Amino acid sequence: MSATELPVELLSRIEDAGLNASAPPQQRWLDGWLVRFSPGKAQRARCINAVAPGRSAPAEKLAQCQTLYRSAGLRLIFRITPFSQPTGLDDWLAQRGYQRFGDTRVMVCPLLPRHLHETAPEGTRFESVGSEAYAHIVGEFRGTVLSGRQAHAERLKHSPVPYHGMLLRAADGAVLACGQYAIESELVGLYAVFTAPAARGQGLSRRLCAGLLAQAREQGARTAYLQVDTDNHAARAVYRRLGFADGYAYHYRALPSAEG
């Protein structure tokens, strides 16, 4: 069964698992809106997810969110998924000048192979790493400022779903690639997969992800998901070779200015 044939109930559960795995300490509920305002770089941790219609008018809730984000010094961003409520929210925001960006695919591997296994390439080794150290390693790769790395570390530390990080190190100790997974029931999500620029094109991210998925299956995971930029064709090709296919898409909306 391909991901596009999966029942909407499973895709909805994957959406819930993704929200749980990206939950920052800085969030609150506002009449059906899950409002997140983490100072970190990850947009999933500093956006509004309209999970339920609520009872108040969207304009009333939007005004409250504008005040909240202004106080936090953050740009007001909405994350729009096939599950956003009410169903016309995306058009409503577009009519008010909120521009679309950040098109993303949630890819799904419906059933992890029974005999997943991957060995490190010759001269390298896999190594487990704690969440705080991982946040700083991947943040350094991405050029994230210190405050952003600290916010990422805090989010991982307080996550309701435990993270497990893995590095692929060269013989001299240099980190060639890194990735994390988070398990909720039989679902496993891959997060923050990154390959050092000088090590790209060698199949290292595929090996690393296969290793992560093998560990997760040993712990009871059966279905895997991940989130990747729609235009990241190289990464999407790697994930397809691992058995992933597009499950659903989401995008963000925000005003052109930082005023929100």
Q: Is the pLDDT of residue 2 over 70?
A: no
Q: Do 93 and 180 share a domain, yes or no?
A: no
Distance set, CA 176 to CA 70, 201, 206, 248 (Å): 39, 12, 12, 30
- Is position 114 within any domain? no
- Please indicate, yes or no, whether residues 145 and 183 belong to a single structural domain of this protein: yes
Q: Provide the CATH number for the domain around residue 168.
A: 3.40.630.30
How many other β-carbons are positioned within 10 Å of the β-carbon of residue 103? 12
Cα distance between residue 150 and residue 239, in whole Å:
29
Residue range 229-245, pLDDT digits in tens:
999 999 999 999 999 99
Q: Is the dihedral of CA 210, 213, 214, 215 positive or negative?
A: positive
pLDDT tens digits for 139-191?
888 888 988 888 888 888 888 899 999 999 999 999 999 999 999 999 999 99
Maximum distance among all Cα pairs of the chain, rounded to whole angstroms: 60
197: in domain = yes
Whether the pLDDT of residue 1 is over 60: the answer is no
The amino acid present at 250, given as its one-letter code, is Y
- How high is the pLDDT of residue 104? 98
pLDDT tens-place string over residues 109-147: 999 987 777 777 888 999 999 988 998 998 888 888 988
Mean pLDDT of all residues in the chain?
A: 91
Domains in the chain: how many in total?
Answer: 2
- 93 and 150 belong to one structural domain: no
173, 153 Cβ separation under 8 angstroms? no
Say which residue the tokens 């559960």 belong to: 13
- Please report whether residue 110 resides in a domain: no
Task: Kindly state whether residues 148 and 192 are assigned to the same domain.
Answer: yes
Q: CA of 193: how far to CAs of 13, 62, 228, 238, in Å? A: 22, 34, 10, 12
Domain shared by 137 and 243, yes or no: yes
Q: Does pTM surpass 0.85?
A: yes
Q: Is the pLDDT of residue 193 over 70?
A: yes
Residue with tokens 């001269």: 123
Residue 119 lies in a domain: no
143 shares its domain with 67: no
Question: Is 118 a member of any domain?
Answer: no
Q: Do 82 and 154 share a domain, yes or no? A: no
- Residue 214 CB burial class (10 angstroms; 0-12, 13-18, ≥19): middle
Residue among 169, 179, 251, 253 at smallest CA distance from 216? 179
Residue 111 belongs to some domain of the structure:
no
Same domain? For 135 and 98 the reply is no
49-61 pLDDT per residue, tens: 999 999 999 999 9
Q: Which residues contact 182 (CB under 8 A, 6 or more apart)?
A: 17, 21, 159, 161, 162, 163, 164, 188, 189, 191
Query: Looking at the structure, do residues 99 and 61 belong to the same domain, yes or no?
Result: yes
Is residue 117 included in any domain, yes or no? no
Out of 1-5, 123-127, 220-224, 243-247, which region has the weakest mean confidence (pLDDT)? 1-5
97 and 61 together in one domain: yes
What's the domain range around 22? Answer: 3-105+250-254
Q: Is the CB of residue 42 less than 8 Å from the CB of residue 18? A: no
Q: Does 93 share its domain with 129?
A: no
The verdict on residue 260 lying in a domain is no
